[in-house]
Amino acid sequence: MDDEVPWMGFEDRRILVTGGAGFIGSHLVDALMERGAYVTVLDNLTTGSRENIGRWIDHGRFSFQTGDCLRAEDLGKAMKDGEVVFHAAANPEVRAALTDPQVDFEQNIVATKMILEGMRRSQDIGILAFTSTSTVYGEATQLPTAESYGPLTPISLYGASKLACEALISGYCHMYGMRSVIYRFANIVGS
């Protein structure tokens, strides 16, 4: 993990993991805790579970907050004294947009904008690692798909919302001097 982001060591860093009780987020929490980070998890537990992070609940370098990235008060509390945000909170159910397109808009785009605004205002948190998705490529004709592949033509609202988040992150980083890493995960499996 440290090798992938050479400017980001984790030992003694104060890190917020949004969606940290979810599948991806909880594995990220494990890796960060094992590397000596101070970790705060913000999760609304819609799809996540306390069981996923149970081994850390009583650890001195760990704190858990039930809350939502869509609420400024929850974010402000979770971001207090932070240095880095790993943003893994999202609506993970691609098919949910078939009946309620607002879910992807709010849970992905608006939540990401709220986090970016919180970072901009805090001036202490200047690094964001964002969990995106390979669905931003749409039906790619090149496999494996290079990061430089284009045009990016998502075929789901989930993919489109994640691509919109990537654009917001790019804009905020360029305008406000933040740094970011975007991971486009594909076919996540495991336990």
d(CA 185, CA 54): 25
Q: Which helix (H) or strand (E) holds 135?
A: none
Annotation says 183 is catalytic: no
Cβ contact 21:53 at 8 Å: yes
Q: Which of 38, 137, 158, 172 is catalytic?
A: 158
3-state secondary structure of 39: strand
Q: At what angle do helices 111-122 and 157-176 cross, to 10 degrees?
A: 10
Q: Give the whole-angstrom CA distance, residue 90 versus residue 103.
A: 9
Count CB neighbours of 57 within 10 A.
11
Place of tokens 């607002």: 102
Nearest to 127 by CA among 162, 171, 86: 86
Question: Which residues are annotated as catalytic?
Answer: 158
